[in-house]
Homo-oligomer: A and B are copies of this chain.
Amino acid sequence: MDWSIQDVARLAGTTSRALRHYGSIGLLEPSRVGSNGYRYYDAAALVRLQRILLLRQLGLGLDEIARALADDGDPAAALRRHLARLDAERERLARQARAVERTIAALETGGPLMAEDMFDGFDHTQYREEVVQRWGKQAYADSDAWWRGLSDEQRRDWKALSQRLGEDWIAAAGAGEAPDGEAAQALAARHVRWLGGIPGTPGYPDGPSKEYVLGLSEMYVADPRFARNYGGETGAAFVRDALRIYAEREL
A84-126 vs B, CB cutoff 8 Å, 1 = contact: the mask equals 0011011001101101110110011000101101100110110
Residue of B nearest to A82 (CB): B100
A165 within 8 A of B: no
Which of the candidate stretches A7-15, A25-33, A204-212 sits at the interface with the other chain?
A7-15
- Which chain B residues border A96 with CB–CB below 8 Å? 58-59, 86
Contact in complex: B99, A89 (CB < 8 Å): no
Contact A58/B103 with A11-B125, A76-B108 known, Cβ cut-off 8 Å: yes
Contact A107/B93 with A54-B114, A121-B13, A145-B58 known, Cβ cut-off 8 Å: no
Contact in complex: A118, B50 (CB < 8 Å): yes
Contact residues on A (Cβ < 8 Å of other chain), bracket: 35 or more
- Which chain B residues border A115 with CB–CB below 8 Å? 47, 50-51
Residue of B nearest to A112 (CB): B75
30 inter-chain pairs at a CB distance below 8 angstroms, sorted by A residue, are A10-B129, A12-B125, A47-B115, A50-B114, A50-B115, A50-B117, A50-B121, A53-B121, A54-B103, A54-B121, A57-B99, A57-B141, A58-B99, A58-B100, A58-B148, A75-B107, A79-B100, A79-B107, A82-B100, A83-B97, A83-B100, A83-B101, A83-B104, A86-B96, A86-B97, A86-B100, A87-B97, A89-B93, A90-B90, A90-B93
Interface residue ranges, A against B (CB under 8 Å) = 10-13, 46-47, 50-51, 53-54, 57-59, 75-76, 79-80, 82-83, 86-87, 89-90, 93-94, 96-97, 99-101, 103-104, 107-108, 112, 114-115, 117-118, 121-122, 124-125, 128-129, 132, 140-141, 144-145, 148
